[in-house]
Structure 1
Amino acid sequence: MNVAALRSRVEEWASHVPLLQRLATEFFRIEFLDRCMLIAAQALLAMVPMLVVIAAFLPELTASALQQMASVTGVGDDAVRQVTGELDLSRVRSETGALGLVITIVSATSFGRAVQRVFERVWEQKHVGGLRGGARCLIWVVVFLGCLGAVNGVINLLTDPGNPLRPALQMLGSCAAWWGSAWVLLFGRVNRWVLLPGAVLTGVVQVIYGRGSAWVMPTYVESNAEQFGTLGVILSLSTWLIGFAGIVVGGALLGRLLVEDPIIARTVRHGRDFLTRSR
């Protein structure tokens, strides 16, 4: 079945429910699958070189970076270390140099650009590129990773791993990070309160996805690593990143559909009027 036939069948099936009908239409308009693959690919291309450079030039941050990555992806500490453990770090330092370090960090903005284009595509905004867009994406990548690290650090200080409050705090931090991310990468062209539902969907589902990965991914990574070595770990990370990207794209898209759906808007308006009269 080709894409046109699939699209026709999905739209016919969803025609009975307006929200689903628009979801099907928007799914194809933003090229959902292509956007997911692009974000996953750019994240992988940015992640592995940055881990290598951090291990070579900033060894004091390596343990923290690896632990956070292992925690978020659920792949396990040993698997993540395998990506960098087979490298001659002294050779990396001598052959990369300061300029290589800068180039590696700047290249990580490709991930920021991929996420930026998703938000712009979902909200039908003109792309902001050039030096201005590149600088914004670079700042976003650095601040976003820093915020996630700070949030995880604070949560680790305040709660124990088994504390039921821990996932709630993680969701709160993740929602805040994605809310700010959408507003920053859209250059403030969309009202920040309109972006909130998408950020909440993304943040909540990502935390659930991350916690679920801690149960599933270690076995999957171990199996791939036994078959393919380091390549198996990278393939496992690619799989995880595709799911991560799907949550980013899907959360942004569903967030817009929810705030613009007339039935939901009418329900919210009636609820607000009821609460106002009750006071």
Structure 2
Amino acid sequence: MDVAALRGRVEALVAHVPLLRKLATEVIRIEFIDRCMLIAAQALLAIVPMLVVLAAFLPHLTEAALQQVSHVTGLGDEAVQQVSGEVDLDQVRSETGTVGLAITILSATSFGRAVQRMLERVWEQEHVGGLRGAGRCLLWVAVWLACLGLVNAVVNLLTDPGDLLRPLLQAVGASAVWWGTGWVLLFGRTRGWLLLPGAVLTGVVQVVYSRGSAWLMPVYVESNAEQFGMLGVILALSTWLIGFGGIIVGGALLGRLLVEDPVITWFVQRVRTFLTRRR
């Protein structure tokens, strides 16, 4: 089958399936690729420097955070050792100072703003900026990181590494975190139940992505580190973050399309009516 014939079949499928047609339109409207790249870039440029600076001032806390990043991304222990070996924490501590620490933490809001703008674009809401928006994004970044650590700690406490219940609990925790993320960054302007499907999609796929990364990323990181050193680790992390950004944007977009699809809406209404009558 040549490319023209394949393209014709895809276009025919999209034309006859309303959900696919809507998906294609929305991908263009929200600028899907740009949103993924922006979230990945802001995560790399905001959160990673923040972890490095915090490592100088709160070494025990940030060591756990680095281990969590390694676990979630699948970068492996070698990447953490590479970062720890390349960064002189005493130098960072002496050159950063209190003002630099505050600026670094505040700059982390850029990641929150990227996620906020994406959600506002997906749900067609006006942007909330200024001090109110920046404050909410800073609060979200802090709570988001804390929740990720809390979910990981609870999962480790309740399950063993090989337990089949482990990925299920991780998916539930991640879904809850992204559900809260949508409500917080949209300032409660979208009803919570509408955000739930997107949060579940994001949480489930994120867990699958992280577990798959644990198999694939260490070899990729090791190869990059041998060739480029610290730069290779950053390149590997950038690659992972692009996929992570795609999961966030794709989950939010598919979640809205699902709750607004006429067939799915009809089915949900029928289920609600049935459950109401049963009561």
Instruction: Measure, in 2, the Cα distance between the counterparts of 1:91 and 1:37.
Output: 31
Separation in 2 of the partners of 1:9 and 1:86?
A: 52
Alignment of 1:67-216 (within 5 A): 67-216=67-216
* Secondary structure in structure 1 of the residue aligned to 2:239: helix
How many Å separate the matches in 2 of 1:102 and 1:233? Answer: 26
Number of residues paired by the alignment?
273
- Distance, in Å, in 2 between the alignment partners of 1:88 and 1:276 is 63
Instruction: Give the conservation status (yes or no) of the 8 Å contact 1:40–1:241.
Output: yes
TM-superposed deviation, 1:87: 2.0
Q: Offset at 1:82? A: 1.3
Are residue 41 (structure 1) and residue 46 (structure 2) matched? no
Structure-1-length-normalised TM-score: 0.94
Cα distance, 1:30 vs structure 2: 0.1
Q: Equivalent residues in 2 for 1:234-249 (5 A)?
A: 234-249=234-249
8 Å contact kept, 1:11–1:24? no
The equivalent of 1:64 in structure 2 is 64
- Percent sequence identity over aligned pairs: 74
Secondary structure at the aligned position of 1:15 is classed as helix
Cα deviation, residue 275, structure 1 = 4.0
Is 1:227 the counterpart of 2:227 in the alignment?
A: yes
Relative to structure 2, which stretch is displaced further, 267-276 or 108-117? 267-276
Cα RMSD for the two superposed structures: 1.7
Which shifted more, 152-161 or 238-247?
Answer: 152-161
CA distance in 1, matches of 2:12, 2:46: 40
- 1:218 aligned partner: 218
In the aligned structure 2, how far is the partner of 1:275 from the partner of 1:19?
Answer: 27
For 2:192 and 2:11, how far apart are their aligned partners in 1? Answer: 31
Judge conservation of contact 2:47–2:111 (CA < 8 Å) in 1: no
- What is the SS of the residue equivalent to 1:124? coil
Distance 2:71 2:240 in 1: 13
Note the residue ranges of structure 2 that are not aligned, 5 or more in a row.
Answer: 1-7
Displacement of 1:47 in angstroms is 2.5
Structure 1 range deviating more: 10-19 or 64-73: 10-19
- SS of alignment partner, residue 126 of structure 2: coil
Out of 162-171 and 26-35, give the one that drifted further: 162-171
What residue ranges of structure 1 are gaps of 5+ in the alignment? Answer: 1-7
Code of the residue aligned with 1:122 in structure 2: it is V
For the 8 Å contact 1:38–1:114, the answer to whether it is kept is: yes
Inter-partner Cα distance in structure 1 for 2:135 and 2:118: 17
Q: Give the conservation status (yes or no) of the 8 Å contact 1:51–1:84.
A: no
SS in 1 for 2:125: coil
Query: Which residue number in structure 2 is paired with residue 25 of structure 1?
Result: 25
Moved more, 152-161 or 128-137: 152-161
Contact 2:74 2:217 in 1 (8 A): yes
